[in-house]
Structures are given as C-alpha cells and as structure tokens.
C-alpha cells in the first residue's frame, strides 16, 4: 500500500518535471528551435489547428526558422498566426516558404525571460510539494485506520521527503540550464 502511494507520488512529480520542460521550451532563447512555435494555432478550414499539423517546421541556421505549409493557400494564415503570437517574431515569406529570423535578445528581455523561467520553476516546485502533501495525508489516513504502524508511517514520510527532494533538485538543475541558455550571447 505504501509502495503504491510512493509510486503515485513519483509519477505525479515526474509529470510536473515534464510540464516544466514544455514550459521552458516556450521561453525563447537566442537560438532558433522548432518547439518555440508549438503553441501557435492556425485557422485552417474554419478550425484552430496547431501549426505543426499544417506545416513543416525546420531550422535553417542558428538564428532562422523555416515554416513550409503543406498547402500554398494557407501561407498568409500561417504568417498571420505567427505575427499574432506573443513571441515577437516577424516572419518573411518567399513563395511558399516562411522564414522567421530570431531577433537578438536585449539584456532587458533576457532578464524578463529569466524571471518567467523562475516563475515556471516555482510552479513546478509547488506542484511537487502538493503531490507530497497529498501522499502524506494518505499515509496519515492509513495510520488512523490502523493499517500501518507508526514506524512504517515515519519511514514512509522519510521516503516521500527523499523523493520530493530529488524532484525539487531536478527542477533547480533544469532552471540553472535554462538561465545559462538565456544569458548566453
């Protein structure tokens, strides 16, 4: 029973780390990366469709992304969707290929992105702690129902804390990597 609770805590904490990775991918660094355009949705035959489902996204060089829509008639819609996104990108179209140059990051925007990364990391930590709190409450409930002894409860609490510390350390490591990426010129 306790092992199941610990496994549940690990899974939930791992999901928090995974979500943090996705959120970090949306924060722009100076380099071009296709995951930057993940959140963009294009109006395609009347429905909002993810950009990756209507176009091929590639990296031309370190500072340029290329977007090649599969249908030539949606090129203006794709370009409009990229411009509307809050990423601050200015695409330029050449035929059916849309090139997106990555503007240089100023010191001010870098600091803003670092602040955003820190907020994302903190929300991941909160999510991890929330998972810990719920598992500890379940363990206390088992003790109350006399399904486990006090020694088992203490041991389980220590194990859950070790798991929590491990995942919080992973968040800190991911944040340090993202911050060094952002400060790189």
CATH of the domain at 52: 3.30.1360.40
pLDDT at residue 107 greater than cutoff 70: yes
Which CATH number characterizes residue 119's domain? 1.10.132.20
pLDDT at residue 185 greater than cutoff 70: no
Under 8 Å CB-to-CB from 163, ≥6 apart: which residues?
A: 6, 9, 10, 13, 132
The Cα 18–Cα 170 span in angstroms is: 11
Domain containing 140: what range? 2-26+106-183
Percent of the chain with pLDDT over 90: 29
Per the structure, the count of domains in the chain is 2
Domain closes at, from 101, 122, 153: 101
Shared domain for 40 and 65, answered yes or no, is: yes
Shared domain for 13 and 64, answered yes or no, is: no
pLDDT at residue 124 greater than cutoff 70: yes
Shared domain for 61 and 15, answered yes or no, is: no
Per-residue pLDDT tens digits for 65-94 = 888 888 888 888 888 888 888 777 788 888
Burial 57-92 (b: 16+ CB within 10 A, else e): beeeeeeebbbebeeeebbebbbebbeeeebebebe
Choose the weakest-confidence range: 3-7, 23-27, 95-99, 169-173: 23-27
Per-residue pLDDT tens digits for 16-57 = 999 998 888 777 666 777 877 877 888 888 888 888 888 888
């Amino acid at each position: 029973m306790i092992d199941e609770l610990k496994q549940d805590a690990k899974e939930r904490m791992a999901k928090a780390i995974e979500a943090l990775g996705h959120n970090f991918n949306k924060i722009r660094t100076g380099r071009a990366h296709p995951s930057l355009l993940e959140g963009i949705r294009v109006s395609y035959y009347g429905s909002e469709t993810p950009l990756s489902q209507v176009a091929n996204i590639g990296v031309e060089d370190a500072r340029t992304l290329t977007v090649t829509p599969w249908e030539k008639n949606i090129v203006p819609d794709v370009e409009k969707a990229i411009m509307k996104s809050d990423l601050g990108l200015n695409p330029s179209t050449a035929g059916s290929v849309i090139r997106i140059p990555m503007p240089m990051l100023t010191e001010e925007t870098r600091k803003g992105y670092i602040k955003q990364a820190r907020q994302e990391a903190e929300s991941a930590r909160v999510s991890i702690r929330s998972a810990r709190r719920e598992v500890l409450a379940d363990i206390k409930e088992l003790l109350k129902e006399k399904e486990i002894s006090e020694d088992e409860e203490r041991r389980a609490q220590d194990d859950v804390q070790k798991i929590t510390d491990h995942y919080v350390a992973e968040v800190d490591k991911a944040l340090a990597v993202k911050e060094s990426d952002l400060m790189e010129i």
